[in-house]
Structure 1
């Protein structure tokens, strides 16, 4: 049996959100979780890419929609599933327009988060 844990990168400029998502995804979901408060970090990935990216729409510096567009335009990262989350009421339309694989409207239930994550990386 392999000890490999699927890796999730979570980007949000709110450290409190990152802490809660880390606990839920790691402790409950059993995933390897990396977090960042900087959107630029997502675009600076080299080599070992995550199995999934959870991306806040509104971050300081570069925002989630720009990050998603760049990820989906890059041959090395275009196949990584990206789920964008936001309290913006237009999150579904925004996510579709930038090529995100799915979206979560804030506030969301942690079970909804786990269900979406599992659908993309546990299949």
Structure 2
């Protein structure tokens, strides 16, 4: 059975590129354009990993990350935060995500980071 990754990204181009890349790596991808879509998906299925943009139209990825890490059912899901904002040290102090990556990012580096968490 394929491992499932949720990608929460409001930019359709970035969402499509990430989804395509992860599908090429043989992951099942559920792409969400906002926090509402994400929580609807979470009610149906718990993923193996979550990739979150920080700035979303109806909320932010930090709140999602904190909700996941604060829930006993989901605290073990690896979370990767993405941001075009280069203030990752400030972001790191606001949530317990396993990884943080700046946009734009190198696709090979991104895929290697995801693979590292999915193998554990």
User: TM-score, structure 1 length as denominator?
Assistant: 0.90
Which residue is equivalent to 2:47? 50
Runs of 4 or more, structure 1, over 3 Å off, are none
CA distance in 1, matches of 2:48, 2:110: 15
- Change in CA separation of 1:31 and 1:92 when aligned onto 2, cut-off 3 Å: farther
CA distance in 1, matches of 2:29, 2:93: 25
1:71 to 44, 54, 68: 68
Two-structure CA RMSD over aligned residues (Å): 1.3
1:32 to 7, 10, 28: 28
Q: How does 1:8-23 map to 2 (within 5 A)?
A: 8-23=5-20
CA distance in 2, matches of 1:26, 1:77: 23
Aligned residues: 119
SS in 2 for 1:100: coil
Alpha-carbon offset, residue 47 of structure 1: 5.1
Deviates more, 1:35-44 or 1:80-89: 35-44
Alpha-carbon offset, residue 56 of structure 1: 0.2
User: TM-score, structure 2 length as denominator?
Assistant: 0.92
SS in 1 for 2:55: coil
- Change in CA separation of 1:77 and 1:96 when aligned onto 2, cut-off 3 Å: same
SS in 2 for 1:24: helix
2:3 to 2, 6, 9: 6
CA distance in 1, matches of 2:89, 2:82: 9
Q: Which runs of 5+ in 1 are unaligned?
A: none
